[in-house]
Amino acid sequence: MLKTKLPLILDTATGTTYMKYGMKPGEKSWKFAYEHPDMLYNFQKGLYDIGSDAVLTSTFGIVQGKDPINIEAAIGVSKVAREAAGSDKLVIGAVSPIGRYLYPYGDMRFDEAVERYGEVVSAIDPYVDLFMTETNIQTSETRAAVCAFKKYSNKPVIATLTIDQSGKTLSGDLLLPSLFTLADAGADCFGVNCSFGAASVAEHLIPIVPYAEAIGVTVAAKPNAGLPDKPTPVEVYADAMQKMYDAGVSVVGGCCGTGPEHITVLKEMVQRSAPGKITPADVDFSRIVSNTRAYAEIGDDLPDPVEISEFLSDDIDEQDEDYAVIKIEKGQADELMSQLPYINKPFALCGDFDEYEKFRRVYCGKTIFVK
């Protein structure tokens, strides 16, 4: 659970706002912000003045790609946010996607991703109160960012994904199993940002709120103002945010296309009432296993353990269960990782506990050890 003042009003769009101040198409928002500190200060101070409790550092995109990270710029924009916040407001250190697929789906290793995120986390940690990973289309990258936050800081963590109108990320990940996966990695708050507007976000986020409550995770919504060619009226945004707030979503803000008028809406909303009370879902988190597309709660009668072999996925599919138990032996963590693209079911592990721990550290999912 996010241990800070709730409800928490975040900020609004940076990129679309910076364009109004002269940022050119294709220009990196973090670079523009760093080169225009007065603009950045006035923008962020203005949001605090009208009702934001916390703003994100203007570090979106700074980890993207393979080039060296401009740590000087990351620190510079974070210092501006800290100055704008003063002593009574919060600053959130933000990271966004690196833009590379993690092994075994791509060539970037988990530790490489953690260390790339960690460069920014450790540099800006003195200036922020929380951390947030935003606009992620892969739960795997999001998990790596959460692990970096936990490795290089002891501050609260917000993890958000961006989804399409079907409720999936562009990588096909689903919100509920991703919630379990990221909570297991250490996220204190989970939610959705950007996406296809507040109404679409509400449709898919509200159903997971009881599950988040059951496992002790705060829920966040930071949707955009619709598509550039079809913006959402403020009234539609306000209605959807109210529905999420009434459902218990207690961290709220806006993404692309939103501005001061949206913060005003949120301020009025939280002044009227507290977030809605949540009835927790009936789940036992200690017994949940998940990947990014499915989850299961293991029972007392476990299926027979499956040995790791070249036929692993076939052996798992032959069992009439919604989860599997895989026996892992010393030296098999990498082999099991390589087979993940072919395994559809979530699973628990048995066998060698040290090898389980080695696998669990890099696995984008929630698994448990059973004897």
Judge whether 342 and 365 are in contact, CB under 8 Å: no
Q: Which domain holds residue 289?
A: 285-362
pLDDT value for 3: 85
Which residue type sits at 300?
A: D
Q: What pLDDT does residue 231 have?
A: 87
In this structure, the answer to whether residues 265 and 343 fall within a common structural domain is: no
pLDDT at 99: 95
Which residue, chain included where needed, has tokens 């027979």? 304
Q: What is the pLDDT of residue 65?
A: 95
pLDDT value at residue 293: 97
Rounded to a whole number of angstroms, the CA Rg of the chain reads 21
Query: Of 207, 242, 272, which residue constitutes the final position of a domain?
Result: 272
Do residues 143 and 205 share a domain? yes
Residue 62 sits in a domain whose CATH number is 3.20.20.330
What's the distance, CA 360 to chain centroid? 19
Domain boundary among 248, 272, 296: 272
Are 91 and 129 spatial neighbours (Cβ–Cβ below 8 Å)? yes
Q: What is the mean pLDDT of each run of 10 residues along the chain (371 residues)?
A: 93 93 95 98 98 98 97 98 96 97 96 98 98 96 98 98 97 98 98 96 98 98 89 95 98 96 98 97 98 96 96 96 97 97 97 98 98 88
The tokens describing 162, both together, are 């961006």
Number of domains within the chain: 2
| Single residue among 249, 272, 295 that ends a domain in this structure | 272
What values do phi and psi take at 236, rounded to 5?
Answer: -70, -45
- Claim to verify: residue 302 and residue 245 sit in the same structural domain: no
Which one, of 126, 127, 125, 171, lies nearest residue 148 by Cα?
125
